[in-house]
């Protein structure tokens, strides 16, 4: 298909609008240098309930891994996943809501010989405890990874019923962690109630440089309750790239080892002390390498974080 109505993609924005950025980037790094070529070890964060360390940049799979049965597209996604693990990544997040994503991830993992570093995170997204059990069992099979590390209650759908099952499965050792998720700006009050009244290992919600509502209640509560925080929509579903299109990365961004806007956005998130892991999604190997680069090098301090916000809000 070549016909196009809009055709505005992250790559086009970056290529078409980022001439100045490309120039600076070319001076800073040798040609074809991997975006994570730093001497520092990958940034990891602790899951408070166990003390386990996980790399701070994970991988989401909404849209990007929903490629159905097409083997060419599956093979391309396997390369994305390979780049993720090669760059030190571990946490892969999915959901039964994401179409064929779980099955495709399972196919890719098998294709890659089951990377041992995998931290598998999926969700339960259905009504009734019975259907939840069936769905989670299906997820176990689709991932082909011999068990799941984390299951989260997707958007708090029928959370009381599923929490009972997750507690039971965790007690049996069938999963290692349980959690709950919500997406941008929705059901925050209910999420707070669930967090206050239940022992969750992880919570997942939206947080990025322009959507910072989580700073006021969700992040402090997660810190207080000892819950790991997984951040979704770190790029505001790609809208952040449209927001900065045509604007070069500020010179001072190199002080925190940012080579591109993706790393700028991710380092803002990762520098919040309560955040455990951000899960950007991509279907491109080059973008995966850029994303993973955010888990290396220096991180912004409080002052620089404020400067980052002012910079992006001012564009």
Using CB under 8 A as the binding rule, whether residue 221 contacts other proteins is answered as no
Give the footprint of other proteins on residues 262-291 (CB under 8 A). Answer: 283
Nearer to other proteins by Cβ, of 21 and 279: the residue is: 279
Tell me whether strands 44-46 and 53-55 are parallel, antiparallel or unpaired.
antiparallel
Between CA 237 and CA 258 the distance in angstroms is 20
Between CA 239 and CA 225 the distance in angstroms is 32
Tokens linked to 154: 């997707």
Using CB under 8 A as the binding rule, whether residue 235 contacts other proteins is answered as no
Between CA 78 and CA 225 the distance in angstroms is 37
SS3 87: coil
Nearer to other proteins by Cβ, of 3 and 51: the residue is: 3
Of 18-26, 58-66, 173-181, 199-207, the window that binds other proteins (rule: CB under 8 A) is: 58-66
Q: Is 133 exposed, middle or buried (0-12, 13-18, 19+ CB in 10 A)?
A: middle
Using CB under 8 A as the binding rule, whether residue 237 contacts other proteins is answered as yes
Residue 167 CB, shortest distance to other proteins, in Å, is: 26
Using CB under 8 A as the binding rule, whether residue 67 contacts other proteins is answered as yes
Nearer to other proteins by Cβ, of 97 and 245: the residue is: 97
Between CA 172 and CA 181 the distance in angstroms is 23
Using CB under 8 A as the binding rule, whether residue 73 contacts other proteins is answered as yes
Using CB under 8 A as the binding rule, whether residue 302 contacts other proteins is answered as no
Residue 18 DSSP class: -
Nearer to other proteins by Cβ, of 2 and 27: the residue is: 2
Residue 38 DSSP class: -
114: left (phi over 0), alpha (psi -120 to 50) or beta: left
Give the footprint of other proteins on residues 91-120 (CB under 8 A). Answer: 96-100
Are residues 241 and 15 in contact, defined by beta-carbon separation less than 8 angstroms? Answer: no
Residue 72 CB, shortest distance to other proteins, in Å, is: 8
Using CB under 8 A as the binding rule, whether residue 70 contacts other proteins is answered as yes
Of 52-60, 90-98, 132-140, 171-179, the window that binds other proteins (rule: CB under 8 A) is: 90-98
SS3 100: coil
Q: In 10 A of CB 68, how many CB atoms?
A: 11
Nearer to other proteins by Cβ, of 97 and 309: the residue is: 97
Using CB under 8 A as the binding rule, whether residue 2 contacts other proteins is answered as yes
CA geometry: angle 301, 302, 306, nearest 5 deg:
115
Nearer to other proteins by Cβ, of 85 and 98: the residue is: 98
Nearer to other proteins by Cβ, of 5 and 31: the residue is: 5
Are residues 87 and 286 in contact, defined by beta-carbon separation less than 8 angstroms? Answer: no
- Contacts with other proteins by CB under 8 A lie at 1-7, 62-63, 66-70, 72-73, 96-100, 237, 283
């Amino acid at each position: 298909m070549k016909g196009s109505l809009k055709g505005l993609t992250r790559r086009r924005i970056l290529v078409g609008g980022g001439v100045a950025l490309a120039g600076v980037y070319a001076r800073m790094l040798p040609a074809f240098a991997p975006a994570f070529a730093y001497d520092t070890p990958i940034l990891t964060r602790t899951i408070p309930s166990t003390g386990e360390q996980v790399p701070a940049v994970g991988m989401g799979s909404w849209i990007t891994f929903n490629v159905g049965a097409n083997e060419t597209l599956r093979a391309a996604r396997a390369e994305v996943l390979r780049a993720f693990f090669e760059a030190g990544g571990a946490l892969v997040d999915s959901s039964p809501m994401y179409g064929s994503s779980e099955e495709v991830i399972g196919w890719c993992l098998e294709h890659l010989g089951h990377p041992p570093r995998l931290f598998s995170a999926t969700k339960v997204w259905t009504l009734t405890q019975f259907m939840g059990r069936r769905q989670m069992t299906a997820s176990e099979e689709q991932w082909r990874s011999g068990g799941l590390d984390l299951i989260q209650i997707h958007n708090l759908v029928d959370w009381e019923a599923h929490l009972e099952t997750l507690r039971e499965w965790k007690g049996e050792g069938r999963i290692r962690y349980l959690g709950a998720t919500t997406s941008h700006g929705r059901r925050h009050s209910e999420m707070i109630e669930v967090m206050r009244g239940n022992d969750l290992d992880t919570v997942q919600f939206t947080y990025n440089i322009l959507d910072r509502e989580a700073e006021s209640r969700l992040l402090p509560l997660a810190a207080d309750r000892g819950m790991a925080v997984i951040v979704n929509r770190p790029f505001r579903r790609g809208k952040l790239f449209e927001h900065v299109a045509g604007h070069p990365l500020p010179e001072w961004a190199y002080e925190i080892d940012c080579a591109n806007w993706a790393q700028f956005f991710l380092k803002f998130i990762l520098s919040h002390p309560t955040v455990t892991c951000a899960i950007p999604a991509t279907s491109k190997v080059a973008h995966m390498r850029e994303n993973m680069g955010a888990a290396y090098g220096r991180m912004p301090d409080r002052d620089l974080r404020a400067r980052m916000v002012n910079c992006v809000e001012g564009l």
